[in-house]
Amino acid sequence: MSNRESAVPRGRLARLARFSALAGGIAGRAAVQGARQWATGTKPDAATLLLTPANIGRITDELARLRGAAMKMGQLVSMDSGEFLPPELGQIMARLREDAQAMPPKQLKSVLDRNWGPGWLAKFERFDVRPIAAASIGQVHRARLKDGRDLAIKVQYPGVRASIDSDVDNVGSLMRLSGLVPAHVDVASLLGEAKRQLHEEADYLREADSLAAFGRLLAHAPEFRVPGLEAGLTTVDVLAMEFLPGQPIEALATADQALRDRVMTAMMALVLRELFEFRLMQTDPNFANYRWNAETGRIVLLDFGATRIVPQPVADAYRRLMQAGLAGDRCEAMAAALSIGLFGADTDAVSQGRVIDMFQTAFAPIAAGDVFDFSTTDVAARLREDGLALAQDRSFWHLPPADTLFLQRKFGGLFLLGSRLKARVDVRALMLPWANAQARGAF
Pairwise CA distance, residues 393 & 395, whole Å: 5
Regarding whether 407 and 354 lie in a shared domain, the answer is yes
User: If we measure between CA atoms, which residue out of 134, 133, 154 comes closest to residue 246?
Assistant: 133
Establish if 190 belongs to a structural domain.
no
Cross-strand partners of 126:
144
Q: Which of 216, 243, 270 is the last residue before a domain boundary?
A: 243
Is beta strand 424-425 parallel, antiparallel or unpaired with respect to 307-309? Answer: unpaired
Answer yes or no: are the C-beta atoms of 147 and 139 closer than 8 Å: no
Regarding whether 229 and 292 lie in a shared domain, the answer is no
Q: What amino acid occupies position 277?
A: E
CATH number of domain containing 226: 3.30.200
Q: Does residue 215 register a pLDDT over 80?
A: yes
Establish if 208 belongs to a structural domain.
yes
- Nearest 5°: the CA angle 299, 300, 306 is 120
Pairwise CA distance, residues 31 & 39, whole Å: 12
Residue 26 has a pLDDT of: 46
Beta strands in 146-226 (DSSP E): 150-156, 224-225
User: If we measure between CA atoms, which residue out of 408, 308, 420, 303 comes closest to residue 80?
Assistant: 408
| H or E stretch covering 196 | helix 188-201
Q: Which of 128, 143, 177 is the last residue before a domain boundary?
A: 177
Contacts 24+ apart (CB under 8 A), 214-223: 214/280, 214/282, 214/301, 214/304, 214/307, 217/278, 217/280, 217/443, 218/301, 222/298, 223/266, 223/270, 223/298, 223/299
pTM of the model: 0.77
Establish if 129 belongs to a structural domain.
yes
Pairwise CA distance, residues 406 & 326, whole Å: 23
Report pLDDT digits (tens) over 332-363: 999 999 999 888 888 888 888 888 888 888 88
Q: Total structural domains in the chain?
A: 3
Regarding whether 297 and 216 lie in a shared domain, the answer is no
Pairwise CA distance, residues 145 & 290, whole Å: 25
Q: Is 128 a catalytic residue?
A: no
Dihedral sign, CA of 416, 414, 383, 386?
negative
Residue 184's pLDDT band, with cuts at 50, 70 and 90, is low
Residue 386 has a pLDDT of: 59
Regarding whether 41 and 142 lie in a shared domain, the answer is no
- Nearest 5°: the CA angle 262, 266, 269 is 135
**What is the radius of gyration, based on Cα positions, of the chain?**
23
- Encode burial over 320-351: b for 16+ CB neighbours within 10 A, e otherwise: bbbbbbbeebeeebbebbbbbbbbeeebeeeb
Establish if 4 belongs to a structural domain.
no
Report pLDDT digits (tens) over 374-389: 887 666 666 666 565 6
Percent of the chain with pLDDT over 90: 43
User: If we measure between CA atoms, which residue out of 358, 324, 331, 361 comes closest to residue 342?
Assistant: 358
Query: Which residues contact residue 247 at a Cβ distance below 8 angstroms, ignoring those fewer than 6 apart?
Result: 291, 292, 293, 294
- Comparing 142 with 402, the larger pLDDT belongs to 142
Cross-strand partners of 248:
291
Regarding whether 284 and 152 lie in a shared domain, the answer is no
Regarding whether 343 and 396 lie in a shared domain, the answer is yes
Regarding whether 152 and 53 lie in a shared domain, the answer is no
Residue 37 has a pLDDT of: 41
Regarding whether 167 and 151 lie in a shared domain, the answer is no
Regarding whether 216 and 365 lie in a shared domain, the answer is no
Residue 8's pLDDT band, with cuts at 50, 70 and 90, is very low
Residue of 284, 303, 370, 378 marked active site:
284
Pairwise CA distance, residues 250 & 1, whole Å: 15
Dihedral sign, CA of 321, 324, 325, 329?
negative
Pairwise CA distance, residues 319 & 300, whole Å: 28
Pairwise CA distance, residues 443 & 436, whole Å: 20
Q: What amino acid occupies position 198?
A: L
Establish if 404 belongs to a structural domain.
yes
Q: Does residue 249 register a pLDDT over 80?
A: yes
Pairwise CA distance, residues 150 & 134, whole Å: 19
Pairwise CA distance, residues 301 & 278, whole Å: 16
Report pLDDT digits (tens) over 165-179: 877 777 676 666 655
The domain containing residue 296 runs over which residues?
Answer: 248-443
Query: Which residues contact residue 7 at a Cβ distance below 8 angstroms, ignoring those fewer than 6 apart?
Result: 103, 104, 107
Q: Which of 189, 224, 243 is the last residue before a domain boundary?
A: 243
Establish if 398 belongs to a structural domain.
yes
Residue 178 has a pLDDT of: 55
Regarding whether 392 and 323 lie in a shared domain, the answer is yes
Regarding whether 416 and 299 lie in a shared domain, the answer is yes
Pairwise CA distance, residues 265 & 278, whole Å: 18
The DSSP string of 365-433 is HHHTT--EETTT-SHHHHHHHHHHHHHH-TTT-----HHHHHHHHHHHHHHHHHHHHT-EE-HHHHHHH
Regarding whether 131 and 18 lie in a shared domain, the answer is no
